[in-house]
Amino acid sequence: MTVVYALGVLFFVLAILVSIGLHEVGHMVPAKKFGAKVPQFFIGFGPTVWSRRAGETEYGLKAFPLGGFVKIVGMLPPAPGGEEVRVGADGEQTVAVRGSSTGLFTQLISDARAAEWEFVKGTDTNRLFYRLAWWKKVIVMAGGPTVNIAIAFFLFWGIFATVGNYNDRDIDPVVTEVLDCVVPFERQDQACQAGDPATPAKEAGLQVGDRFVSINGTTITDWEQLQGLIRGNADGAATIVVERDGAPVTVETNTTVTARPTSTTDETLEQVGFLGVVPTDLGPHVGGPLYTAEWMGSATVDVVKALGTLPVKVWHVGMAALGLEERDDYGPVSVVGGARIAGEVAASDQLDAQDTLVTLLTVVAGFNLFIGLFNFIPLLPLDGGHIAGALYEAARRGIARLRHRPDPGYVDVAKLLPVAYVVGVALLVMGLVLIAGDIVAPVDLGL
């Protein structure tokens, strides 16, 4: 492992740790603002490496930097009639929780309640999370993932506003090259061979520097629109108006049909119309906050779709780890995989310093966007599960008020702990599979 590779890994690990810390700050700050008690704030899991108390909160680092947590007292309400205030020998009041222990899941719920309330003082009963107004609960639990999304936004904005979006290039509908012949896309050698027909653009006499004005009467506004019109024209007649040396020039031709990829992200071939020109690439698109928000909106849709197929993708990663499949280079990766990617990017001699930094920041931004959206999934133990519980509480109480019925009280999210355990085990298994895949069959960046 080279020093540069190690620096890339270190950069990624530190960036993720900072992101985790800020995620937990996103929970802690509003929780304290609303009066909830926050006794612990830790980065990592396992044995404590370092800690320091400031006020009523203990801040620290744990041995395994694979996450973090902020302890907010009273996340789980007591069972009905189960809350009991006890007075110790020193006169200090603590709150104990009684509950039934019949059945496996009932026992788990009872134990979880007891653990949640073990260190609650008698004076803390009005500072418990479950007693907060539903909208305060939503703000506290949404604070963490919202911070991750904000980190992603500011990183992407910084990249897009300076060097531009490498995945969204500005293409001008101005001819930079006229292809001589129609070469089948699947042929590795793209040089013209005997029998290859001339391109419609060559036959029409189009020239380098021609700016497309219209095709078949449709005014051209950008290359993507022109490309769609050509692809949809099949082998039909095409009346093309271009601007050449400041004057309009009209040419007549017939576009031909050839197999081309469906899109830049889908290599499936389809029969489409073909003209035979190469447009002018103006480079990555440079944009500000509005452009960044729009782009992240589209990226969010893609991430949500990917989350729906995550278990299947993880299954294929597992098959790749066992040597039964090829690893999908565009599939999910763990933090270990992210660190490997960062190391390879940093050590690559194919990227200059700017491209290396942009790629590393893009990887960190992408992880933050994924972490933020993933945590909004409405299932415990994720933040979205608590948000869903608070929203359900608001709806239930609202309906009761409209019907002039008694307040149904707080929602008991402890009853959903069996679901949380199942989800937690599933997340643990998927995480281990991804880590194994990233070690045994890592993605190939082609660097």
* 71 belongs to a structural domain: no
Whether 434 and 318 share a structural domain: yes
Tell me the residue ranges of DSSP E strands in 88-164.
93-97
Whether 103 and 135 share a structural domain: no
Share of the chain above pLDDT 90, in %: 60
Instruction: Report the C-alpha gap between 241 and 50 in whole angstroms.
Output: 71
Last residue of a domain, one of 232, 265, 285: 285
Whether 329 and 412 share a structural domain: yes
Helix, coil or strand: residue 310: helix
Residue with tokens 């933020």: 372
Torsion sign (Cα): 219, 223, 228, 229? positive
What angle, 0 to 180 degrees and rounded to 10, lies between the N-to-C axes of helices 134-162 and 383-402?
130
Q: Do the beta carbons of residue 365 and residue 165 sit within 8 Å?
A: no
Query: For the residues 253-275, what does the mean pLDDT come to?
Result: 79
Contacts of 188 (CB under 8 A, 6+ apart): none
Last residue of a domain, one of 234, 265, 285: 285
Rounded (10°) CA dihedral 319, 322, 323, 325: 0
Mean pLDDT over each residue of the chain, to the nearest integer: 87
Whether 313 and 264 share a structural domain: no
The radius of gyration of the chain from alpha carbons, rounded to an integer in Å, stands at 29
Contacts of 71 (CB under 8 A, 6+ apart): 38, 39, 40, 41
pLDDT digits (tens, 9 = 90+) for 332-381: 999 999 999 999 999 988 888 999 999 999 999 999 999 999 999 999 88
pLDDT at 275 exceeding the cut of 80: yes
> Which of 407, 426, 343, 391 is closest to 11 using CA atoms?
343
* 50 belongs to a structural domain: no
Whether 265 and 303 share a structural domain: no
* 334 belongs to a structural domain: yes
Tell me the residue ranges of DSSP E strands in 36-164.
40-54, 57-71, 83-87, 93-97
HEC-encoded secondary structure of 401-438: HHCCCCCCCCCCHHHHHHHHHHHHHHHHHHHHHHHHHH
Tell me, rounded to whole angstroms, the distance of Cα 171 from its chain centroid.
27
Whether 305 and 266 share a structural domain: no
pLDDT digits (tens, 9 = 90+) for 3-57: 999 999 999 999 999 999 999 999 999 999 999 999 999 998 889 999 999 989 9
pLDDT at 444 exceeding the cut of 50: yes
pLDDT digits (tens, 9 = 90+) for 145-158: 999 999 999 999 99
Widest CA span of the chain, in angstroms? 99
Instruction: Report the C-alpha gap between 217 and 240 in whole angstroms.
Output: 8
Helix, coil or strand: residue 113: helix
pLDDT score recorded for residue 157? 97
φ/ψ (deg, to 5) at 260: -140, 155
Supply the pTM of this predicted model.
0.83
pLDDT score recorded for residue 91? 43
Whether 293 and 436 share a structural domain: yes
* 66 belongs to a structural domain: no
Whether 275 and 321 share a structural domain: no
Pairing, β 211-215 against β 57-71: unpaired
Stretch among 260-264, 399-403, 436-440 having the lowest mean pLDDT? 260-264
Where in the sequence is the domain holding 188, given as residue range(s)? Answer: 171-285
More confident residue, 286 or 125: 286
Q: Do the beta carbons of residue 431 and residue 332 sit within 8 Å?
A: no
Share of the chain above pLDDT 70, in %: 91
Whether 281 and 291 share a structural domain: no
Q: Annotated catalytic sites, by residue?
A: 24
Query: For the residues 427-440, what does the mean pLDDT come to?
Result: 93
Whether 416 and 324 share a structural domain: yes
The DSSP annotation for 192-211 comes to --TTPPBPHHHHHT--TTPE
CA distances from 429 to 63, 127, 424 (A): 21, 35, 9
**Structure tokens of 138?**
């939503």
Last residue of a domain, one of 285, 304, 323: 285
* 261 belongs to a structural domain: yes
Structural domain count of the chain: 3
pLDDT at 266 exceeding the cut of 70: no
Q: What is the number of alpha carbons within 13 Å of residue 151 lying toward its C-beta?
A: 30
Whether 233 and 269 share a structural domain: yes
pLDDT band at 163 (very low <50, low <70, confident <90, very high): very high
Whether 323 and 447 share a structural domain: yes
In DSSP terms, which residues pair with 95 in a beta bridge?
85
* 176 belongs to a structural domain: yes
pLDDT score recorded for residue 12? 94
Query: For the residues 439-444, what does the mean pLDDT come to?
Result: 90
* 371 belongs to a structural domain: yes
pLDDT score recorded for residue 207? 93
Stretch among 91-95, 292-296, 308-312, 387-391 having the lowest mean pLDDT? 91-95
Domain at 229, CATH number: 2.30.42.10
pLDDT score recorded for residue 105? 62
pLDDT digits (tens, 9 = 90+) for 61-98: 998 877 889 999 888 887 665 544 443 444 444 444 44
* 153 belongs to a structural domain: yes
